[in-house]
Structure 1
Amino acid sequence: MSQDLPAIVTGPLSPAQQTSLINIVRRAARTEILPRFRGLSTGQIATKSGPHDLVTEADTAAEAMIARGLARMFPGATIIGEEAAATDPSLRGKAAEAELAFIIDPVDGTWNFAHGLGAFGVILAATRYGRPVFGLIYDPLADDYVIADESGPARHVTATGRDTRLTMSGGGPVAQLDGYVHINHMAKPAQRLLAPLLPEFARTGALRCSAHEYRMAALGHTDFILSGTLNPWDHAAGVLICQRAGGVAKMLDGADYTIAREEGYLLSAANEATWDAVARVLAPLQEAAPAAG
């Protein structure tokens, strides 16, 4: 990586810089993630906030490698990863206030990864004063990615180099909509309000992996995503990618999404009409706190 890049990049990331970011993520996946997939011992898996909140050696090693590469490219930027933020929660606030911040989820879908399921990915986002300006979601097994920046369309790039512009689904009547709903990450009162609403939709579920949920939405394969846990490493990249694919992603109360928001419900949907229709169904949620204790 070049040592001549400015400490803070004030404009959009250049194509060359984006290519370098892709290469950093790809190298970390090949070096630290894929060799450990389906090869972890019990001693290489630990819990954080609870039995379903896992961290593995792949998470910590990949995060450290990506962070080192970012620091060399952008020495003045704020860099946080999910695992570093678990140790020092103040990093999240620093990133929200930073002129340029990079946010790393080294293995999104760690529960899947630790149990040998292939639905995991690497997420990298860049933000300016909390607003997403670059998003990358990389699938190590397929060696492909979805990507967007603040000025261009969202794209899907395959391992063979095919580069396709992304478009969200066309949406439709509520009864025909498919969505991902993170009900199990919500507080019990919110779950009790939300559960009776879900039959209004054609189908709802969750993949235990924001990377693949946002990827599916951006590829037009699902109509909406609802989350009440606002970890920026899960959402910053996906929000921007969905928006640049023609979708609408904002808080259920109508506010714009920024990584400074720590409470509330984040709804991403295929288009404005679909967002409005889903939000009307979900309006009772506003009565309950979203995050589980």
Structure 2
Amino acid sequence: MIFTRQDHERLAGILAEAGRREVMPRFRNLGEGEIREKRSATDLVTEADEAAERFIGAELARAFPGAVLIGEEAAAADPALIERLGDAELAFVIDPIDGTLNYASDLPLFAVMAAAVVKGEVVAAVIHDPVVADSAMALRGEGAWLAGDGISRDLRVAPAAAPREMTGMMSWQYFPEPLRSTLPGRTPAFANVCSLRCCGHEYRLAAAGNGHFLLYGRLNPWDHAPGSLIHAEAGGHVRMLDGQSYRPAQPTLGLLCAPDAQSWLEIRTILLGETA
């Protein structure tokens, strides 16, 4: 199946409308019982997540009949949904609110994200910021751009730099041991390493050249399918830590995004404590 630019614009419009209708009216306005824990005190779901996913799912079903819809909250209830991602003629992975902990903490740093996947390959992506109402977007083979207020500008990753001059973002806590314990101690090799608690904004920053690398250990497809394509189409090098290309239905341990192949290898060597 060919996912066209018109299809892409339709996807972006649905996410923007979900932000306007479902996400922003509830921001800093959640009532008692509208924030719940899933697996831990930092893994939350809100009424806004569920309402936005329902809206996005219904609109995508109307716009793309027969497409497989894999939302974060639906997959939490039925993990087998993810198994359909590799073979579907057209699937959408949906994160109704990426950065739910920020959202529930009244911090305006969250995103509405989705990616179109054809036979296991990400072909289109949108990361929408409902606070400022703009979207980072990518279409495979056609580049990445930021669109908002009728203005569009191309996205481009930062040029490669020496490790001591690099800044990065990572979530080390989701790696298994011993990496979970050793990764933080290796970050002083870089100028700065942090986490925004929102993959969507981390991917947006890196694709715009504001940061050199991203490292993730927990690879839910709704968290990384959109951003991985945007980063790659912005000129970046995106690979699993074993060197394989990222495919959302077949993740292995760890995803690393860098400006180019050489810096990817340098960053990997430092963070894993291995020789190149």
Same fold (TM over 0.5): yes
**Which one has a larger percent strand, Structure 1 or Structure 2?**
2
Alignment of 1:51-130 (within 5 A): 51-130=41-120
Post-superposition offset of 1:284: 3.8
Corresponding position: 1:191 with 2:184: no
Letter in 2 for 1:24: I
Post-superposition offset of 1:260: 1.8
Alignment of 1:224-235 (within 5 A): 224-235=213-224
4+ runs deviating over 3 angstroms: none
2:39 counterpart residue number: 49
User: Deviation string for 1:158-184 (max 9, x for gaps)?
Assistant: 2x2111111100120011110001012
Letter in 1 for 2:207: A
Tell me the TM-score normalized by structure 2: 0.96
Tell me the TM-score normalized by structure 1: 0.91
Corresponding position: 1:208 with 2:233: no
* Range 254-263 or range 144-153, more displaced: 254-263
Post-superposition offset of 1:219: 0.6
Alignment of 1:136-147 (within 5 A): 136-147=126-137
Percent of residue pairs bearing the same amino acid type:
41
CA distance in 2, matches of 1:71, 1:197: 45
CA distance in 2, matches of 1:181, 1:31: 31
* Range 209-218 or range 41-50, more displaced: 41-50
> Match for 2:5 among 5, 15, 36?
15
Post-superposition offset of 1:188: 4.5
CA distance in 2, matches of 1:51, 1:187: 20
1:168 counterpart residue number: 157
Letter in 1 for 2:20: R
> Match for 2:243 among 234, 238, 254?
254
User: Deviation string for 1:60-85 (max 9, x for gaps)?
Assistant: 00001001111111112111100000
CA distance in 1, matches of 2:34, 2:178: 35
Post-superposition offset of 1:21: 1.2
User: Deviation string for 1:123-150 (max 9, x for gaps)?
Assistant: 1101122221111000001100110011
Post-superposition offset of 1:14: 2.0
RMSD, aligned α-carbons: 1.4
Q: How many residues are paired up? A: 275
Say which SS state the counterpart of residue 164 (structure 1) adopts: strand
Say which SS state the counterpart of residue 85 (structure 2) adopts: helix
CA distance in 2, matches of 1:76, 1:151: 25
**For structure 2, which runs of at least 5 residues remain unmatched after alignment?**
none
1:3 counterpart residue number: none
**For structure 1, which runs of at least 5 residues remain unmatched after alignment?**
1-9, 286-293
CA distance in 2, matches of 1:262, 1:231: 9
Conservation of the 8 A alpha-carbon contact between 1:138 and 1:146? yes
Letter in 2 for 1:192: S
